[in-house]
Structure 1
């Protein structure tokens, strides 16, 4: 969407420039501070909308900005044996002494204050309120504990608030023209997050949204599935799974006005068709882990800004000895970091691949995290498909024997530009055998291969959108057609390996050291070509040079191209 909205893109760039000139030049620090402001703005907008919706439907709704708020450090210590009435008295007394009117904490209230007063108000009241938003026991509050509001100048805050207000005005205008507001907001936030790329460390590369949508279409999460990303970053895959489910529920409910986006996918974040029970299920279905505290906070706020009240994103190293979860998740969507080798001393003992390479450990880890019957969609560097080392072969064998390994979709090297030019692939597999199960038969019979040549965007640093969808919709259609054919066919169908996609039997893959690279099985067709006699070809060349001259005249040419051709013809004859 931003590719076609120069005004909105310009405002976002202005926001970055203001932070840069205001002394906050680190992209990760800037995006965190901008996210806090966006979150404050969106919190106010969502609360006002819910109030209006409640009035319209006569439902009860308690505003987050209703009543008094007491900062945690000023709250009384209530004795454990206090009665409910005594607890109420304690809280009432605290509100009387230290309570802050929650209405003053709204964005739409504090953005009217003079510059110096606004900065102090946000630093000392609004931001502490934000950190305490979901109560002292919530996951969000726990991870916001160490968050710091570091905008140093009142002038920067005023300019940032003004620019964000202008951005929301443009977003509202676009929403009235038919685009979903939350989808526009998602585009804006994704554009902001893209700046993290210049920090470019720890292998953390933002996955393009159209690739996330593609992966969701392939694994098809459904309501009630526990969805996980063991290296979630800012929560893009979790949001992608959530949006896919919400869209399917909207379509099932008869929503008619949903149209494909520029990549050919139908998506909505609007939860208006959800019941309270359905929303509660979704709110407790998303689980993410990351080893970067800033990413955890960004992920939490990203999902909360999209209407997910309490995302389960936590600060954990899922490869370490301290991480004990096994067989917990129905869907895993992930793009684990490709950081090379990690500390051998802290690798979880359950891993059997005997490697320190993170991409292999994450693949093995995802197998362990899946429940039986659970499906994973994972992005990996293509080197994992054909690496000849024992660890590479072990992991590929593990997935082919203990999982129904469904698909390998290779992607062109430009998909992750400007972050990296590494060639990547999508893997789709469903867990059949548990880690302690005795295998009676390998779970994989055949693997579907597809060579994505075009993802709908230029493969250079700018990644400009092209006309059409590239191979994206073709992949979705052909993959699900293959899965359907596999379920109904009495015998495994034969596929032409000379084409863009084909199927390879497990036995053939096994015979090649569990190689999963597309090129190892692609067959280049050979065609028999008939050529004219050389003398005939030379005659044609001579005629083209000399026009309609007959042989008696041609023989008079004693030099030049015609003479050389005549000599050559004579040699052949």
Structure 2
């Protein structure tokens, strides 16, 4: 397989010449539905081999990737087939509650998918590039996984407020720290492209010893994603990780009454980075008891997490500083009261502000808690920037090795003061509740110094921010164009 960067560049260069593609969001969405069909075709070949005559594809023969993508269709004939046969067929597949997940996902994947390209010759060129990927070769298959990771990272430039690709180093750290066990089931109720689920699978795979363990590994995940595009990415991501029946739903976790959850709706482990910065309408808030019916998205997800964590279950959740510090907002205080009185909030890791830079500078934290008992004491630890870094960026992202110092402290906890400011400290429940009024903004960053960057660092930071703004502009223009085209 050719160099990953050149592979993606080749596709990008082709699509830039197509009049139907407006910006990175449409380009990526176009790639994803084709990549999904290519991956799915490889999985079908595998299922046909292992299941024999009992396997029957849900996709009609003429619409299977191996039959049309490998053919000679191009130009207007290819466009006509894709627009008038392929998409209508896949959107209207016969699916019901008895349909196996590995079959029903095809219809769900294409429910809101779009075909943007308008030049059939260019479309053929892109298909040929994707068709050159060989999933039968182990090394190439691994490289395709790297390619997919690169595509996911590109999404950072194309996401709207509150929806950012969580750095893989952070998801890996959280999964490793939560210590997955064979037989447990984890959930992410706003799973995006499946980053936390992938990290969970990677960590749990280290403990697989038998065929039964392997089966339990693949059945150990659950995700739900509100938006179609990230959902498509998550399902494809699972297929690439050999999860044949990915339990990933397309839906909104906040549109179910909180009091309706039963034991079967609960999970052993919850790993997630809820959307934050968003505001929910009254019809969403109505699904929550009045005392915790916040308008802020992250607060409502926190309520869902607490409602769906099994007895003795464990959770690691990324939340913004506003959740920790809010003491005037009654709903935030009530949520924190519930967290401390009903769960064991044992650790809060304060993350450097630039973990998600340059796409957002919202300060974030990882809350580790379990459903074993009420909180008795909570440790706070501030993760400072590693030596040699003034800030994280697209060119200098946070790495898993940067969490080594956190893990060293985790395994040998002690209070630390730096320049008379607490870097790590233990607080009792009485201190947090009575003395501090549920203000969990402890061991924070003492001050922000004016940052003087080297010329090349300054240029790189500017280019990253400009790329992010350009992507947002492209996204808005694409939405406007789509609206105008529908009106015509």
* TM-score interval (norm. to shorter): 0.7 to 0.9
Match in the other structure for 1:144: 109
5 Å matches for 1:352-391?
352-389=291-328, 390-391=330-331
5 Å matches for 1:27-38?
27-38=24-35
Match in the other structure for 1:464: 396
SS in 1 for 2:404: helix
1:460-517 deviation per Cα after TM superposition (whole angstroms, max 9, x unaligned): 5424258x855312323432455xxxxxxxxxxx634457544333332232122222
Match in the other structure for 1:337: 275
1:240-292 deviation per Cα after TM superposition (whole angstroms, max 9, x unaligned): 2122211332xxx4xxxxxxxxxxxxxxxxxxxx51x4444334332222222
5 Å matches for 1:501-540?
501-510=424-433, 511-519=435-443
Whether the 8 Å contact between 2:37 and 2:65 is mirrored in structure 1 is no
5 Å matches for 1:259-274?
none
Match in the other structure for 1:445: 376
Match of residue 161, structure 1, among 96, 117, 127: 127
1:165-199 deviation per Cα after TM superposition (whole angstroms, max 9, x unaligned): 55x47x999x64xxx944x4333223223333333
SS in 1 for 2:315: strand
In 1, the alpha carbon distance for the partners of 2:341 and 2:275 equals 25
SS in 1 for 2:206: helix
Q: Within the alignment, does 1:495 sit opposite 2:415 as a pair?
A: yes
SS in 1 for 2:252: coil
Q: Are the structure 2 counterparts of residues 281 and 127 from structure 1 closer, same or farther at C-alpha, using a change threshold of 3 Å?
A: farther
1:202 Cα deviation after fit = 4.7
In 2, the alpha carbon distance for the partners of 1:48 and 1:25 equals 34
Whether the 8 Å contact between 1:229 and 1:289 is mirrored in structure 2 is yes
Whether the 8 Å contact between 2:172 and 2:400 is mirrored in structure 1 is no
In 2, the alpha carbon distance for the partners of 1:461 and 1:306 equals 28
Whether the 8 Å contact between 2:15 and 2:27 is mirrored in structure 1 is yes
Q: Within the alignment, does 1:12 sit opposite 2:2 as a pair?
A: no
SS in 2 for 1:519: coil
5 Å matches for 1:17-28?
17-22=13-18, 23-28=20-25
Q: Within the alignment, does 1:286 sit opposite 2:203 as a pair?
A: no
Match in the other structure for 1:62: 52
Q: Within the alignment, does 1:421 sit opposite 2:361 as a pair?
A: yes
Match of residue 207, structure 2, among 225, 235, 248: 248
Match in the other structure for 1:473: 404
1:360 Cα deviation after fit = 1.7
Q: Are the structure 2 counterparts of residues 67 and 287 from structure 1 closer, same or farther at C-alpha, using a change threshold of 3 Å?
A: closer
1:123 Cα deviation after fit = 5.3
Q: Are the structure 2 counterparts of residues 217 and 14 from structure 1 closer, same or farther at C-alpha, using a change threshold of 3 Å?
A: same
Whether the 8 Å contact between 1:374 and 1:431 is mirrored in structure 2 is yes
5 Å matches for 1:43-122?
43-46=40-43, 60-62=50-52, 71=60, 100=61, 105-106=65-66, 110-116=69-75, 118-119=78-79
In 2, the alpha carbon distance for the partners of 1:70 and 1:13 equals 31
Match of residue 454, structure 1, among 382, 385, 395: 385
1:407 Cα deviation after fit = 1.1
Whether the 8 Å contact between 2:44 and 2:57 is mirrored in structure 1 is no
Query: How well do the aligned residues superpose, as a CA RMSD in angstroms?
Result: 3.6
Q: Are the structure 2 counterparts of residues 288 and 481 from structure 1 closer, same or farther at C-alpha, using a change threshold of 3 Å?
A: same
Identify the structure with bigger relative contact order (alpha carbons < 8 Å, sequence gap 6+). 2
Moved more, 338-347 or 143-152: 143-152
Whether the 8 Å contact between 2:41 and 2:65 is mirrored in structure 1 is no
1:129 Cα deviation after fit = 7.4
5 Å matches for 1:159-308?
159-165=125-131, 168=133, 176=139, 181-182=141-142, 184-249=143-208, 253=209, 275=211, 277-308=212-243
In 1, the alpha carbon distance for the partners of 2:349 and 2:36 equals 37
Match in the other structure for 1:536: none
Match in the other structure for 1:264: none
1:426-481 deviation per Cα after TM superposition (whole angstroms, max 9, x unaligned): 11100236xxxxxxxxx212222222223797735424258x85531232343245
1:370 Cα deviation after fit = 0.7
1:218-254 deviation per Cα after TM superposition (whole angstroms, max 9, x unaligned): 11222222211111112221222122211332xxx4x
Q: Are the structure 2 counterparts of residues 296 and 21 from structure 1 closer, same or farther at C-alpha, using a change threshold of 3 Å?
A: same
Structure 2 alignment gaps of length 5 or more:
447-488
In 1, the alpha carbon distance for the partners of 2:280 and 2:320 equals 17
Q: Are the structure 2 counterparts of residues 411 and 455 from structure 1 closer, same or farther at C-alpha, using a change threshold of 3 Å?
A: farther
1:333 Cα deviation after fit = 0.8
In 2, the alpha carbon distance for the partners of 1:239 and 1:132 equals 30
Whether the 8 Å contact between 2:58 and 2:93 is mirrored in structure 1 is no
Match in the other structure for 1:553: none
In 2, the alpha carbon distance for the partners of 1:458 and 1:163 equals 40
SS in 2 for 1:24: coil
In 2, the alpha carbon distance for the partners of 1:346 and 1:43 equals 35
Moved more, 189-198 or 394-403: 189-198
1:388 Cα deviation after fit = 2.2
Q: Which of the pair has more CA radius of gyration?
A: 1
1:304 Cα deviation after fit = 2.0
